[in-house]
Amino acid sequence: MHENMIDKLHIKNYKIHADTELSLGRLTVLTGTNASGKSSVLQSLLLLRQSYENNVLKDGLQLSGDYCNIGLVKDALYQYADNDAICFELMDNGKSYSWEFELLKGNNYEKNFIPLKKKLDCQTTDLNLFNNGFQYISAARSVPSESHQLETYAVESKRRISQKRGMCELVVQYLYYYGIVLKEKIKFDDLCHGDEESKDLLSQVSAWEREISSGVNVVPRKDGTSYTLYYNYSLDGDDITNDFRAENVGFGLSYVLPIIVALLSADKDGLILIENPEAHLHPRGQSKLAELIALSAQCGVQIIVETHSDHILNGLLVSCKKYEEVGKGIDRKNVSLYFFDRKNDGHGSNMEKINVLQDGKIDKQPEGFFDQTDKDLNYLLGF
């Protein structure tokens, strides 16, 4: 039985993408050189989402909003396009959802809205891009701070951890409400951390955070009209340290928190976009986070990850091999892996699909695809 997910994404005339088509899996991994089109793939989905949320997608594409700010039409349109139309197409279970946005004749490019050229024939409500299971975690997520804002409707009705640009500024309130007030359980047993018997959200978040910092406990608190994040540490026996404000504890703990919370609280058929999950994490922490990402995707959450980390990539490939050996991890058939770089013969994005083979191997390693460690070691060893 087909599960609700985007099978294909087709982008035409948007930024660096003249004509790019990706087959998406339960887990899609975007890798490659800087400024080669990875973020633009995510932006295509974010633009559709923010236009839909603002009830304007039936009329056109909103280039500036809560999810992303592309600027003006001239910033969004592929420079060498044959026409002024930007096209996005999504496929779900063989059903096509296609949008073509084009300026009216005589209009200039100094606008932040592009009209819809052709009315969409089918309803979009079944797409996971537009449901309440959507989360966006940007590379510019919020740093640890003294307090976090209160946004009751966004958190309790829409289950949002972000309102602005994927900054995850609502994650502390989200964890307090669903973890402490409602004592919500995680949705999938396969996501349970092996060292934690309890299946409640807060306990599992702390258990996975201990892969980043041993013994840590996550403590969200409500302080009037705001929320504060603390951490403490379990010691030998039953002793626990004092609570420490998040600003006084390792940066990586708070930076990875929204990813762990989103993965553990996601429903089947949700969609999570994650930029640079590796940021501020040590190698083992990155590998364990990749394990959680893989497990969540295998449970039915669609996840698209943009990464520059070989530890994230290798962690995902390890999860493919573990699935073959012990049945816990991710089926390689559910993974789509892409490498992006810039075309040599002009301004444009060049994309190459890399297939995951048995035992977590890959079928090719293009120049620039996580090969720098080998190059550096070869030089140091005199090869």
Residue 120 has pLDDT above 70, yes or no: no
pLDDT at 335: 98
pLDDT, tens only, 307-342: 999 999 999 999 999 999 999 999 999 999 999 998
pLDDT at 161: 96
Residue 156 has pLDDT above 50, yes or no: yes
pLDDT at 123: 63
Are 229 and 220 in contact by the 8 Å Cβ rule? The answer is yes
pLDDT, tens only, 51-104: 999 999 999 999 999 999 999 999 999 999 888 899 999 999 889 999 999 987
DSSP H helix total and E strand total for the chain: 9, 16
Q: Mean pLDDT throughout 214-225?
A: 94
pLDDT at 1: 38
Six-digit token string for 237: 């026996």
Angle between helix 251-265 and 201-209 (nearest 10): 140
Instruction: Please provide the average confidence, as pLDDT, over all residues in the chain.
Output: 93
pLDDT at 169: 95
Rounded Cα distance, 22 and 239, in Å: 51
Query: Residue ranges of the domains in the chain?
Result: 1-133+332-383, 136-265
Non-local CB neighbours of 125 within 8 Å, separated by 6+ positions: 131
Residue 232 has pLDDT above 90, yes or no: yes
- Tell me the CA distances in angstroms from 1 to 93, 132, 194, one per residue in order: 10, 22, 30
Q: Mean pLDDT throughout 92-121?
A: 85
pLDDT, tens only, 161-197: 999 999 999 999 999 999 999 999 999 999 999 888 8
Per DSSP, the three-state class of 184 is coil
Measured in degrees and rounded to the nearest 5, phi and psi for residue 72 equal -110, 170
Six-digit token string for 235: 């010691």
Non-local CB neighbours of 255 within 8 Å, separated by 6+ positions: 141, 143, 279, 280, 281
pLDDT at 194: 84
Rounded Cα distance, 357 and 22, in Å: 19
Q: Which amino acid is at 133?
A: G
What percent of the chain lies above the pLDDT cut of 90? 80
Rounded Cα distance, 137 and 274, in Å: 5
Residue 3 has pLDDT above 80, yes or no: no
Q: Mean pLDDT throughout 358-378?
A: 90
| Edge-to-edge strand list for the sheet holding 335-342 | 134-137, 271-275, 302-306, 27-32, 335-342, 349-354
Q: Mean pLDDT throughout 94-119?
A: 87
Q: Give the CATH architecture of domain 1-133+332-383.
A: 3-Layer(aba) Sandwich (3.40)
